[in-house]
Amino acid sequence: MAKKNKPQVCIITVTGADRVGIIAKLATAMAKANINILDVNQKIMEDYFVMTMAVDITKATINTEKIKKSLDKIAEEMSLNIAFQDENIFKAMHRV
């Protein structure tokens, strides 16, 4: 059952104004749910601050709906937009 060991990678995308503590807050929320952070990137694009965080949710203790809810809460507290999406959507759209 090699399939089971395959990580389920999701991408958290933060857009909005850059400020202190974004990564710290996200990292804490992820750790709480036993979600491993694989990679973090950030850039300024078209006047947007964009940060992406790749996470592996294979061993997460909560389901995607709950992860989304906890991220929505952070988004509201910090006045940011946060999207949470399975990595496959990006692969499907941007890779031939």
Residues that bind other proteins (CB under 8 A): 11, 13, 15, 39, 41-43, 45, 48, 50, 52, 54, 64-65, 68, 81, 83-94
d(CA 53, CA 39): 6
Burial category of 67 from C-beta neighbours within 10 Å (exposed 0-12, middle 13-18, buried 19 and up)? buried
Q: Which residue type, as a one-letter code, is found at position 61?
A: T
As measured in angstroms, the least distance from the Cβ of 50 to other proteins is 5
As measured in angstroms, the least distance from the Cβ of 84 to other proteins is 6
Max Cα-Cα span within the chain: 45
Of 15 and 36, CB closest to other proteins: 15
As measured in angstroms, the least distance from the Cβ of 22 to other proteins is 15
